[in-house]
Amino acid sequence: MSKRLNAGEVIVGDGGYVMQLERRGYVKAGHWTPEAAIEHPEAVRQLHREFLRAGANVIQTFTFYCSEDKLAISGNVTNITGAQINEAACDLAREVANEGDALVAGCVSKTPCYVKSRSETEVKAIFKKQMDDFLKKDIDFFIVEFVDHVEEALWAVEVLKSSGKAVGATLCISPHGDMDGVPPAECAIRLVRAGADIVGVNCHLDPLTCVRTVKMMKAGLDNAGLKAHLMIQPLGFHTPECNFGGYTSLPEYPFALETRALTRWDVHKYAREAYNAGICYIGGCCGFEPYHIRAIAEELSAERGSLPAASEKHGLWGAALDMHTKPWVRARARREYWENLLPASGRPKCPSMATPADNYEK
């Protein structure tokens, strides 16, 4: 991964898995554990393929919340181990990645152990166990994701760097900083000094808010004389509240977020903003569907030198509507129309913003 970024390539990441698979009936909301990699591999494989066809250069292993302590707490599995899920997920990701020019990222996320004990030894042992599972399958690089305390992310980076492979570290933080109040700039500095090759943010807040946070991280690195590649994989929903705890504090989470969903045109704007900010690994997290990933690849097609396979069935900026039988629809076959559209929600009694819960667990 570092070689491709060092060469100036713009990397398109994949999208969200747990929320997509929950909506399709393969993941149980609450603990969001990834046993579908074993129970329903065809569902995970299909979503991987859709992201690949949409232009993703990286296929992440479906191993979110796959530490043994999280699986035990969830109660979702009784006869499947974390190691079995990790290895099955690696096989699925590699199978699909090999169908295109994609890399496989072995992914680890925050652990219940950290909040419970703050024990560096215990938390690192959990990450080490997951790392060993991934190394059996020779993944291409690692991603630390969905971690809201920079200290835990540092421990993960330190463990994963012992593999000799590149490590990306993305925090789910707001511009206010992590759950301990560590500012984004300082978070980035600590991650890079711990050995992270790629740093950034993922999930919790909407794309433009996440771009703002990564800009703060970049400024911190620049001021400290440090260098790293920048990465962003934000939420696929609008969160103008920009609250400390992110979208999990919103009253609509997790079953009524549809009216907040990004349009493909929102994603075009996000991709351009991210690229202009110097971010060269651009993907999505919860709420990002394959057509959103296609929008990233289409917006940056000039920089990347090609369009994704999925663009064969999509007219850029609505161009295919030029063949529509209705003249008022044909009139929408132009970029200016979609760039300037203010979509209605169709819900006249609904507010444009909500009041987030303020009891987010730190």
Return d(Cα 20, Cα 311) in angstroms, integer.
Answer: 21
Contact 203, 233 (CB under 8 A): yes
What are the Cα distances from residue 117, in Å, to 114, 140, 151, 152, 312? Answer: 6, 31, 13, 11, 51
- What domain range includes position 9? 1-340
The first and second tokens of residue 178, run together, are: 């992590």
Q: Residues near 62 by Cβ (< 8 Å), separated by ≥ 6?
A: 17, 21, 34, 36, 37, 44, 48, 89, 92, 93
69 belongs to a structural domain: yes
For all residues of the chain together, what is the average pLDDT?
A: 96
Containing 91, the helix (H) or strand (E) segment is: helix 82-97
Task: Determine if residue 285 is labeled as part of a ligand binding site.
Answer: yes
pTM of the model: 0.96
Predicted confidence (pLDDT) at residue 360 exceeds the cutoff of 80: no
40 belongs to a structural domain: yes
> What is residue 243's predicted lDDT score, i.e. its pLDDT?
78
User: Exposure string (b/e) for 325-334, b if CB count within 10 Å is 16 or more?
Assistant: eeeeeeebbe
87 belongs to a structural domain: yes
Q: What are phi and psi of 14, to 5 degrees?
A: -90, -170
Q: How many structural domains does the chain have?
A: 1
Return d(Cα 18, Cα 25) in angstroms, integer.
Answer: 10
Task: Determine if residue 286 is labeled as part of a ligand binding site.
Answer: yes
128 belongs to a structural domain: yes
User: How many C-beta neighbours within 10 Å does residue 176 have?
Assistant: 14
* CATH code, 2: 3.20.20.330
Find where tokens 């009784």 sit.
78
Return d(Cα 282, Cα 214) in angstroms, integer.
Answer: 12
94 belongs to a structural domain: yes
Task: Determine if residue 203 is labeled as part of a ligand binding site.
Answer: yes
312 belongs to a structural domain: yes
- pLDDT tens digits for 159-183? 999 999 999 999 999 999 999 999 9
49 belongs to a structural domain: yes
- pLDDT tens digits for 211-253? 999 999 999 999 999 999 999 999 999 999 877 889 999 999 9
285 belongs to a structural domain: yes
Q: What 8-state DSSP symbol labels residue 292?
A: H
